[in-house]
Amino acid sequence: MTTASTFRAAGPLVAALGFCYIIGHFYRVSTGVIAPDLMRELALSAEAMGALNSAFFFGFAAAQLPIGVLLDRWGPRITVPLTMLLAVAGAAVFYAASSAIGLTIGRALMGIGTGGVLMGSLVVASRWFPGDRFAAVTSVFVATGTVGAVLATTPLATASALFGWRGAFALMAVITLAGLLMAYIVVRDAPPGHAYHGRQRETWGDAFRGLKEVLRNRRLPYIVAANAVAYPSALTIAGLWGAPYLTGIHGLTPVQSGNVLLVMTVGMIIGHLAYGRLDRVFDTRKGLIVFGSIASMATMVILAALPSPSVWQVVVLFTLLGAFTSYSTMITTHGRAIFPAHLVGRGMTTNNMSVFLGAAAFQWLSGVVIDAFTPVGGPPPVDAYRAMFAMTALILLISVLIYSRVDDVKPSQEAR
């Protein structure tokens, strides 16, 4: 099957999985623009808000290893819709919650329920497309999913202003149910004639022995070091502190801050699409990851160094940060390449677990740092956010120093 015919045949399943990933991405960053409302309504501190938001990422991370086993054993067509039922429940719980505990449970269920969407999509892509095209296909999936982050900016802020954030999450529960039904109907785990169809299904013992083999991969820790920092560093801004920073320091309205985060999200989309094509241009993944890490760190350093940046400076820097941190696409591709075909589901979900453990840690740690620079009973000052930007820059530096020790896997090595 030619590449063109493969794309045509895979089009419907790519669209269905892409729609599911839009839903998952929306949940991931959905507390960003409504964070000021939640903090005011429930009298939450910065640390408490960070902890509440991190519940999604802890739930997501906790689901990765079992989902990896299910993806390799049952396939994405069964695994993705089944787990998304928990996201439906999570949105319903979040809608009905009257306390921080209820919101936290809802966030955790959303995380678990959407934990298999992207990795399930990439397992499907690994079987429908050749290895040297994987980065481009991954970038399309990730960029498509980022539309969910767009919906969680100005559209969510507008919807919240019109009929409240609870109404928005009630609607999302219905949309999530529609998405999982679409995935079950449309998705196929592999193209006709693929070796997957003739495989001998693993026993549960074989499945967990394969997971053990994944965890013993010597290159995995270096990939994890990069993956745990790249996307989480941007997500801490786009999905949590961007709106409080813009409203509290720069005096923007919730909708105006949503507009700024929307522009940042557009930067992410452009970045994902660009990285997904540049690996074949430069025939390197490691080089692009190192570049993205350093550029992201430099942007954070500038944000930390500016004592009183203008709104336009913040817009530009947030947008650049969104584009630069999209090198996470390359880390996913590099991580997929270090595992054999029969371990691809477990390998990618194990790697992906590091993203959301990193995100959860960032959400919590950033709240601790901001609280440390905030007067008791008062709003966070600009120096609190500057300290958070500086902390993120330091973590990015440590990450790239560790990752730089791993060998590259070039697209030309996987072409077939």
pLDDT tens digits for range 218-228: 999 999 999 99
Ranges 17-26, 38-47, 128-137: which has the least confidence: 128-137
Say which residue, 135 or 249, is predicted with more confidence: 249
Answer positive or negative: Cα dihedral of 165, 167, 171, 174. Answer: positive
Give the dihedral sign, CA 176/326/106/385.
negative
**274-290 as b/e: b if 16+ CB within 10 A:** bbbebbbeeebbbebbb
Please list, residue by residue across 4-14, b when 16 or more beta carbons sit within 10 angstroms of its beta carbon and e when fewer do.
eeeeeebeebb
**Dihedral angle computed from the Cα positions of residues 286, 288, 294 and 295, in that order, rounded to the nearest 10 degrees:** -170
* Distance (Å, whole) CA 243 – CA 256: 9
Provide the 10 A C-beta neighbour count for residue 144: 21
Higher pLDDT, 302 or 191: 302
Contact between 183 and 81 under an 8 Å Cβ cutoff? The reply is yes
The C-alpha angle 300, 318, 29, rounded to 5 degrees, equals 105
Per the document, the length of the chain is 416
Neighbours of 384 (CB within 10 A): 22
- Contact between residue 385 and residue 370 where contact means Cβ atoms under 8 Å apart: yes
Residues 6+ away with beta carbon under 8 Å from 264: 234, 237, 238, 242, 315, 318, 319, 321, 322
**201, part of any domain:** no
In a domain, residue 196? The reply is: no
Q: Do the beta carbons of residue 136 and residue 280 sit within 8 Å?
A: yes
Strand, helix or coil for residue 405: coil
Q: Which of 39-43, 232-236, 311-315 has the lowest mean pLDDT?
A: 39-43
**CATH code, 125:** 1.20.1250.20
Residue 3 has pLDDT above 60, yes or no: no
Alpha carbon distances (Å) from 173 to 149, 354, 404: 17, 27, 42
What CA–CA distance (Å, rounded) separates 327 from 221?
18
Helix (H/G/I), strand (E/B), else coil: 114: coil
Q: Which residue did the predictor score with more confidence, 296 or 202?
A: 296
Q: Residue 377's pLDDT is what?
A: 76
Report, in this order, helix, strand and coil percent for the chain, each rounded to 5.
80, 0, 20
171 part of a folded domain:
yes
- Tokens for 392, please give them: 């993120």
Note the pLDDT of residue 225.
92
Q: Is residue 339 part of a domain?
A: yes
Residue 131, in any domain of the structure: yes
pLDDT digits (tens, 9 = 90+) for 95-109: 888 778 888 999 999
Domain that holds residue 48: 3-189+208-414
pLDDT in the model for residue 293: 95
Query: If you write DSSP's letter for every residue of 341-381 in order, what string do you get?
Result: GGGHHHHHHHHHHHHHHHHHHHHHHHHHHHHHTS-TTSPPP
Quote the number of domains for the chain: 1
Task: Say how far residue 400 (Cα) sits from the centre of its chain.
Answer: 19
Confidence class for position 217, pLDDT limits 50, 70, 90: confident
CA distance 125 to 123: 5
Record the pTM. 0.72
pLDDT at 4 over 60: no
| 194 within a domain of the structure (yes/no) | no
Q: Would you give the distance in Å from CA 363 to the centre of its chain?
A: 13
Closest CA to 63 of 45, 82, 44, 83: 83
User: Which whole-number Å values give the CA distances from 6 to 127, 144, 197, in the listed order?
Assistant: 11, 19, 17
Q: Is residue 195 part of a domain?
A: no
- Of the chain, the percentage scoring pLDDT greater than 90 comes to 28
> What's the pLDDT score for residue 180?
92
* Average per-residue pLDDT for the chain: 84
Q: What is the pLDDT of residues 72-124, one digit of tens each?
A: 778 888 899 999 999 999 999 998 887 788 889 999 999 999 988 888 888 88
Report d(CA 389, CA 397) in Å as an integer.
Answer: 13
CA–CA separation, 274 vs 296, rounded Å? 15
Q: How is residue 291 written in tokens? A: 């570049």
Q: Please determine, for residue 203, whether its predicted confidence score (pLDDT) is greater than 80.
A: no
pLDDT digits (tens, 9 = 90+) for 51-66: 777 788 888 888 888 8
Residue 202 lies in a domain: no
The residue with greater pLDDT, 45 or 60, is 60
Half-sphere exposure of 237 (CA within 13 A, CB side): 35
Cβ count within 10 A of residue 98: 8
Q: Which residue has the tokens 């969407």?
A: 117
> CB of 221 within 8 A of CB of 13?
no
Q: Are 267 and 275 in contact (CB under 8 A)?
A: no
List the structure tokens of 9: 């045949």
Q: pLDDT class for 2, splitting at 50, 70, 90?
A: very low
Residue 415: pLDDT band (50, 70, 90) is low
Q: What is the mean predicted confidence (pLDDT) over 236-252? A: 86
Maximum distance among all Cα pairs of the chain, rounded to whole angstroms: 65
Out of 242-251, 263-272, 337-346, 367-376, pick the least confident: 337-346
